[in-house]
Structures are given as structure tokens and as C-alpha cells.
Structure 1
Amino acid sequence: MDLDIDTVRVARSRADCALRPGETFLGGGTFLYSEPVPAEVTGLVDLTGMGWEPWSVDGSGLRVAGTCTLEELLAGPGALGGAPGAPGPYRGLGIVGECVSALTLSAKVARTATVGGNLALGLPAGSMAGLFAALSARAVVWTPDGGSREVAVSDLVTGAGVVDLAPGEVLREVRVPAAALGQRTAFRRASLTATGRTAAMVTGRAGDRSPRITVTAAVGAPLSLYARDHDMVDRWVDWIGSEGAWYEDTHGSRDWRAAMTRRLAHEVLDELGGAA
């Protein structure tokens, strides 16, 4: 850890979230502390002091605070969902545990890393984007002028490490609509090694008409499709390739990621295509 900064402020009110020159927000800090801090960053504003309730659920759906840790997500919404595919009013959350596990993190990191931090990083392997995009969730973003705006989680990450958050904006919470909570979900992932970084991840949700299939990790930004059949999946995978959208790094080539995504998407479609 190379943490060369001058100040750390703990935010306890929205007014405290107004950034001063050189400041940036701190969530869990598990990624921030693992990388050299950019030279222009001289101070941190710790959002965990805001005291936001990690998560809540009511008739309108599920709300997950940006500062909700992955451990809290797993113990709360993850437990509500039960086992993947199990019946119940919150069975859409049955893939929470698998999405958290896809990050291949230790229990120590899970106790600190936050949902908002994972989304705000916009890393292809950041599985919170795949989870909440599959559930048609929307992110509530606080703007520096005291207002707020909403953006679909599927549109929040726009590229590898590129997120639709302007300087000074805070990812306040993620909202999952009630209808998505009761619908069946499915999850598949692939990596080059048993404990390697996720290189292709497909999440799906059984909709009213066609399953919604979402691919992450293999692409720079989440891509979703309402797939009626396997031919649609194949055409979609081919289209992704024609657009040059496959992501490539040491954890997987473009061709391998395309092949894995095709296989995983077919498996998710098969799983969601059965009787409700």
C-alpha cells in the first residue's frame, strides 16, 4: 500500500460530501489501498461515516446502500434469496452468493469492500454490475448541487474502468424493483483457473416474456439481451464480436471469452426456460 495523502475526512452529513480540491471519495478502500494513489489526490472523504442502513426491503423492492459491504449483502439479501432457483418472494436474489463468490475475495476483504465501490470502479470482473443489471436495478446518484439522478446499473459502467459518475457525484444506493425480486435468476462464470479472476460471467432473470441475459467480465461494459431462443443468443454473441466489444487481458483472450460466453449464455437460457 502506497498511501501518500494529506487528509482524511469522515463524512457524516450530505454537506460533508462536498469535495475540496484534491479530494476523492473512500468507500471500503480495499482497491484504493492496493494501488498507488494518483498524484493529484491529496485527501480522502470516508463515506462509511454516513451511517446509511446497509439494505432494506419493502413493497417497492430492495434498496442497497453504496456503503453496504459485500459481507452485509451476502448475509442480508443473499440470505433472503435462499438457494439459487428456490421458490419464494425473493428468489431473484438467489444469485447474490454466487456473484459475491465470483470476486474470489477473502472474508477479510468482504467485511470491508462495498457494493458502491465495486460498481464505481467499473472493472470488467466487478460482479456487482452483473448482479444488479440482471435484476434491472437502478443506481441513485447524488449530484454535487444537492440533487440526485437515477441511472440503470446496466448503463452505469460504460467501459473498462469507465463509469457514468461525474466528479463529486456519490453512488448513494441501488434499487431493485419488487417484480424482479420474485423472478427466477441464474448464474454462470468461467475463469482460466479454478481460483482465477472471473473472465466471463453471465447472469439471467426469467422475465414476463423472455429471459433477460446479461454478460459481464468478458466485455468492458455490461451487455443485456431479452433472448427468446438459442438462435438469438448466437446472433447476439456474433454481434458482440463484430462490434469489437470482447475484452482481453492476461485472464483470457477475446476468442476464448466469446466461446465461454456463448456456452454460458446457452446454459443460463436453458435453466430459465423451464417451468416457473
Structure 2
Amino acid sequence: MDLNTVVEIRDARHPAPWRPGDAWLGGGTYLFSEPQPHLRRLVDLSRTGWPPVQLHPDGSVEIAATCTIAQLSRFARTLTTEAAPLIERCCRAFLASFKIWNMATVGGNLCNALPAGPMISLTAALDGECLLLAQDGVQRRVRVADFVTGAGHKVLAEGELLRSVTLPARALDCRTAFRQASLYGLGRSGALVIGALDLLDHSLSVTVTAATVRPVRLWFPLPPTARELRTALDSAVADDEWFDDIHGLPAWRRHMTVRFAEEIRRELEGAGTTKAEVTR
């Protein structure tokens, strides 16, 4: 779609004062998908030269905001950590054509802050940390689980930039389980739950996305009982935080989340037969 209110595109490598009507341009798959009448100038990040994905000596993985889904998918195939398959599963959770795969960015998916954003699911589940850059050069770090605060809402200040997301080595060594549900065969995620079992201390995290307006990450020092898990879910998600749109009613999303969380609990504690990913 043409953005006929935009009168200038600026290269992000050449700093200039931020002004009303500016927007960061990564892959552009959202910006060019619908009218943006409030925009006057785009600040293009495509020539920044940031490495898409870096494996650091400590075993952590840093994903640039400009990394495309296709680049992340290719990188995941080179990883040998326990959680490597989860990266590909979340990439495949996109409702996207190959064109979108090669243009859409990890940073864009996080900054859109849509409940069904699978990069939010992935990075929140693996305890990712966002690096944010302000216009005055000040840096701050925010956990992904705290970065998205609601449907379409995030903690970015005016002109602030998401530079990258870092996944810690310990999270990448976790054993993971993945469940996803949609009302349609190729539909947007209505509920997506990820479990991560730390093989060192046997702690368990359960992360809920798509069904809720914000990512909800529960952490247990030891795998919980079914009752403890259900109680924690009920306490963590308020009634008005179950998302409601054409892709699923709140009651259905809640039901699927509770069901998937229990399946994951059983799978990761080894109490039952591993169940395949479910898609409705």
C-alpha cells in the first residue's frame, strides 16, 4: 500500500532530531499493510549493517531487531542446543507467505505487540531481554515479558529503538514443549503455550501468548502439580486479559490455554506420553 503522507525517507545511519510523524522502518510488512495517515517520515534501518544473529562466547544468542524470520530460521538449523527446535516452530507459527518471511523482522513483530506475535512467544518463553536505545544515546534493558504491556502496547518511549533481543545460554539449554491452537487450519494463533524445563535445577517456566493481551510467563522452582499450575494461571491472568477478537472468544482461549499448560506440565515432567503439537 502506498503511504501518501510520507514525504521523506531518512537513513538511520545519519542521526537527525526525532520529530512527530517519524517511524522506524525495518521490514515494512506492517507499515505498508494499511494506511498510516499520521506518518510523515520513515527512518530506514535496512542499511545499519547489524549482524542478524550472533552466537556469543557465553552461549547466549543476540537477535538484531532487523533480523528477518527467514534469517532466524536458517540460523536455528545450525544450533545444537535443546531449545533450537522451538525457534523453528515459532517461525512456522507465522501466518505468512514466503515474501513476508523474507521481509518481516523480529523487531517488527515485537514492536507491533500483537497477542499472536510468535516472536514475542519465542523470546518471552526463553527469558529474552530487549536492548532499547533512546534518542539521546541512553540504553536500557527490558525483559521481553515486560516489554509488551497489552494488545498493541509496549514500553517504548517516543523515538526509542529496539536494537536487539538476547536469549541467555541457560534458556537455550532448556527442554521445551510447544502447543498452538487456531480456529482455522491456516489461521492466526488463538492460543500458544510454551514450556521450558531447566535441566540443571529442574525449574519450569510456562509462557502464555496469543490467548492473552500480553505475554504471561509463570516460573516454578520445581514442576508444579496440576492444581498449582491452574491456580497460578488463574492468578496471573485477569478476566479482562483474555483476548477477544474474530480469532477466538476469551472462554475458548482460556480453555485451550489451561489444557495446553497441563499437557506441557505432564510432558516435561515425564508423567505422560509426549503429545504432538495441536492445531485447531
Per the TM superposition, whether the score is higher than 0.5 is yes
| Matched residue, 1:35 | 34
Q: Which residue of 2 aligns with 1:259?
A: 255
Asked if the contact 1:211–1:273 (Cα under 8 Å) also holds between the matched residues in 2, the reply is: no
Q: What aligned pairs does 1:122-137 form with structure 2 within 5 A after superposition?
A: 122-137=113-128
- Return the letter of the residue paired with 2:25: L
**Aligned residue for 1:117?**
108
Question: Aligned partners of 2:258 and 2:148: how far apart in 1?
Answer: 22
Aligned counterparts of 1:262 and 1:136: Cα–Cα separation in 2: 21
Match of 1:84? none
Is 2:113 the counterpart of 1:108?
A: no
**Where does 1:153-168 land on structure 2 (aligned, <5 Å)?**
153-168=144-159
SS of the aligned residue for 1:91 comes to: coil
Q: Distance in 2 between matches of 1:31 and 1:172?
A: 18
Give SS of 1:252's match: coil
Alignment-derived partner of residue 95 in structure 1: 86
Is residue 240–residue 246 contact of structure 1 (8 Å, CA) maintained in 2?
no
Q: Deviation string for 1:123-173 (max 9, x for gaps)?
A: 001011110111111000001111210000010000000011011111000
Letter in 2 for 1:3: L
1:213 alignment partner in structure 2: 206
Is residue 3 of structure 1 aligned with residue 3 of structure 2?
yes
Name the SS for the 1:75 alignment partner: helix
Q: Secondary structure, in 3 states, of the residue corresponding to 1:80?
A: coil
What secondary structure, in the 3-state scheme, does the structure 2 residue paired with 1:136 have?
A: coil
Residue 191 of structure 1 corresponds to which residue in structure 2? 182
Q: Percent identity?
A: 42
Residues 122 and 163, structure 1, Cα contact 8 Å, conserved in 2 = yes
Alignment check: 8 A CA contact 1:241 1:258 kept = no
**1:189-241 Cα distance to aligned partner (Å, 9 max, x none):** 00001111101000121122321000000000000112422212211333356
Structure-2 separation of matches of 1:2 and 1:234 = 47
Counterpart residue type for residue 260 of structure 2: L
TM-superposition CA deviations, 1:37-63 (whole Å, max 9, x none): 1x3211101111111000111233100
Residue number among 233, 241, 244 corresponding to 2:240 in the alignment = 244
Q: 2: CA distance between counterparts of 1:153 and 1:100?
A: 17
What code does the residue aligned with 1:66 have?
A: A
Q: How many residues align?
A: 264
Partner of 1:70: 69
- Offset at residue 97 of structure 1 (A): 1.1
Name which of structure 1's ranges 99-108 and 117-126 shifts more when overlaid on structure 2. Answer: 99-108
In the alignment, which residue of structure 2 is the partner of 1:146? 137
Paired AA for residue 181 in structure 2:
A
- Cα RMSD between the aligned structures? 1.6
Gaps of 5+ in 2: 272-280
TM-score where L is the length of structure 1:
0.91
- Does the aligned pair in 2 maintain the 1:70–1:114 contact within 8 Å? yes
Is the Cα contact below 8 Å between 2:216 and 2:237 reproduced in 1? Answer: no
- How many Å separate the matches in 2 of 1:97 and 1:233? 27
Alignment-derived partner of residue 12 in structure 1: 13
Q: Between 222-231 and 155-164, report the one with greater CA deviation.
A: 222-231
Counterpart secondary structure, 2:254: helix
Structure 1, 228-237 or 154-163: larger mean CA deviation = 228-237
User: For the structure 1 residues 194 and 149, does the alpha-carbon distance in structure 2 shift closer, same or farther, using more than 3 Å as the test?
Assistant: same
Q: Point out the structure with the larger helix share.
A: 1
Measured after TM superposition, the shift of residue 243 of structure 1 is 4.0
